[in-house]
Structure 1
């Protein structure tokens, strides 16, 4: 599929109609067809790996290792799991039909939604586009994918990959900016899967409501990282710094801010500084292995947050290079809840440090804010960890680590409240792109007359059984 940025609503409507016709033909439903196309996607991913690595280096300055481990490996493992399991997942499950349906059988079938729209972001432009696509294929749908215009190089690779692997009436990729997004959202899809900001997610949901179309929204927000007094400070700092710095902090589940027990604040900050230098050298903003910020607007926004913090707080690091768009991780000591850096999701290598000494106080403060996509807890106190887990709603998270819950294909991934609706990954992706279709198969050998009119005298006889 070629770039359709100037195609307009008519072409979008034509593409949706073409896919709906293909879906209605029943061609996508056989499990053999799904497996065949999952294998095509896997083989295309392997064949395009050099172009993908180059594109991610262009768009985000990612090293080959970071691109492979955080994008290609996660995606390829997901596809292989679907190839292995989709035959089992598609089988109808038996359920109890209940006494009122005696004699009969009850089954739940997994029905594909139909024509799906997948809109993906720029920060992990490969993984966050093709992972939901794999789920759509496994569930028996057709799909139109719309990658982000910000990650232009990777989006073009995706358009080429999809266009050479699948016919457009089955899977298509379209390029372009906001005008194309708006054109697509005017069309009647059977399912919309969106990954991106909360602001745009609300617009997607509003557009979907016109038909109405069910949606999955994978959004973001300010994800807390709590460092308890009993935490292993060295390992906590190492894992927390890693989680914050991969992709230069441009990760929806990166720890956004750090709640560090006041007794260990200085030691923790020192250790984070130590590990940042171990990972990226004395000048991370000059290290070609440290990813750069996606564009100048986001670069200016992040450097503005750092400059604002310097006015009233101690800031360690934060040097930047506008030519390469790299920013050295900046640690802000003494951050307060009212600071500018705490107003919205940071999405960059800025590390605000807030202190605490009262569990109830920080739990109540977090509960007053929008529900986070992730929560990270570093502690050796199991009761404390359990209390945080039980009392704070969040999408997913880790105890004594960051980010790595996304690497498990057996765990559903998604947000709650303003951080998202719905989830995916592994079998959950298959379930997301399917709907449960319940069916009662009634026996013809016996027909209980109780339900039929006339009803005179039946109520009293029937009621005593319930």
Structure 2
């Protein structure tokens, strides 16, 4: 039996003890995860610094701060999320208990990504723990220092049998995917996403795929370009552009292209100084393979800002490319780096057409003062999310489901959405063994009269809340009338 088989078998055996069905146990594990994040902040920051060149404050801002918020929310809301959820009834079930009961799925496989090696790997784990599952955690081998810290330290804070960390490369991941899980949660690119889905299909295992794609950013010529470009610059060059929801390219009219370039250039200088290479809040490309891939993507495009690079340090400066066409190399795949191409379009009609001719992106960004234009882009395009007049920040809203559509993914998480995604929402109907007369319409022989009654009871829509109010009102009215009559009799 392989190592991975033993790990999964041990996790399933631990799940079958039933410990995770108790909310107190889940909360205890969530509190352990919170202690890990807070007590090991320095270890986490050092690992990310070695993997991606990110500063300690940036690690706190973009990795652990959101994780802390998710854990606290799950602890606070767990009893509410896990409680039975009453549903509307029909006339036939008016006297029955009818509700949805969230229950654990079993053993979940979480395959993390390297660009945010802590947030993207552990946020799904929050949902898995809250929902009462066991989870096998597979951090990305590309962010090797983070993976090592996770493997060594996380078991000190969580049940090591229920939540084991498995490290390794492609072969280890392939071996893991041969095992049967009850859900697989993968974050990464669509090519690997297809392989994950194919492996899951062999066991009829449901999947959540958090992928990426080329998220477009349309800038209306009449908007405040200074503010728009400031927010776009921040959203694009955070983590050296290695963010799945970063604006991948800009769409704008030719008349504002030069102004957009100048505004972004000013912002790059403001955020990262004249020399981003020496600035602590500007990181590095994850490895030389991705460095070379990004350098190749620039071929054939005009560099308007930046373009400097150093292969020995995996450094590429914040770069803006102008006069890009749809056939340019940089438009053939998701960039996932600090390159920002600008494509000119004659109007919003052409921008919408350009977006719709391509795979559905993770986000559509639009910058404009015109609410009608925002509504039009929302109505006429499809994406995992729509964000107007800002970048990235929808990721911080736990009440919003985070996920893609089509080529950018399937399923969602964050907050209650993560809990529901990793739960089985079980339908429950509880009857009593009495009042059998009402069931006579369903028993043979099936006469026209019985069919008529069945039609009435099954198709008649009943607003139970309204019915309840009417019953209470009738009771209150009857009681008031009785009290009035009693009072008059006494007189």
**Fold match, TM over 0.5?**
yes
- Tell which deviates more after alignment, 19-28 or 63-72: 19-28
Equivalent residues in 2 for 1:37-436 (5 A)? 37-101=29-93, 103-306=95-298, 308-310=299-301, 313-436=302-425
Aligned 8 A contact 1:285 1:321 in 2: no
**Is residue 2:444 matched to residue 1:444?**
no
Measured in 2, the distance between the counterparts of 1:223 and 1:406 equals 14
Determine helix, strand or coil for the equivalent of 1:111. Answer: strand
Q: How far is the alpha carbon of 1:96 from its aligned partner? A: 2.7
Q: How far is the alpha carbon of 1:458 from its aligned partner? A: 4.9
Aligned 8 A contact 1:239 1:401 in 2: yes
Change (3 A) 1:94 1:304: same
Aligned 8 A contact 2:384 2:402 in 1: yes
Moved over 4 A (4+): 456-461
Measured in 1, the distance between the counterparts of 2:51 and 2:248 equals 22
Residues 199-247 of structure 1: per-residue CA shift (max 9 Å, x gap) = 0001000100011001100000000011111111111111100100000
Measured in 2, the distance between the counterparts of 1:102 and 1:248 equals 58
Higher helix share: 2
TM-score, normalization: structure 2? 0.90
Aligned 8 A contact 1:224 1:256 in 2: yes
Q: How far is the alpha carbon of 1:139 from its aligned partner? A: 0.4
Change (3 A) 1:231 1:434: same
Aligned 8 A contact 2:11 2:164 in 1: no
Measured in 1, the distance between the counterparts of 2:49 and 2:334 equals 24
Determine helix, strand or coil for the equivalent of 2:312. Answer: coil
Residues 54-75 of structure 1: per-residue CA shift (max 9 Å, x gap) = 0000000001111110001011
- Tell which deviates more after alignment, 98-107 or 320-329: 98-107
Q: How far is the alpha carbon of 1:290 from its aligned partner? A: 0.9
**Greater CA radius of gyration, 1 or 2?**
2
TM-score, normalization: structure 1? 0.95
Could you say which residue in structure 1 is the equivalent of 2:464?
none
Gaps of 5+ in 1: 1-8
Q: How far is the alpha carbon of 1:459 from its aligned partner? A: 4.8
**Is residue 2:446 matched to residue 1:455?**
yes
Measured in 1, the distance between the counterparts of 2:452 and 2:243 equals 63
Q: How many residue pairs were aligned?
A: 455
Q: How far is the alpha carbon of 1:404 from its aligned partner? A: 0.7
Residues 387-446 of structure 1: per-residue CA shift (max 9 Å, x gap) = 011111011132111111101111110000000000000111111111210111012231
- Tell which deviates more after alignment, 213-222 or 95-104: 95-104
Residues 90-135 of structure 1: per-residue CA shift (max 9 Å, x gap) = 1001113322345422010001111000000100000001100011
Determine helix, strand or coil for the equivalent of 1:331. Answer: strand
Determine helix, strand or coil for the equivalent of 2:204. Answer: coil
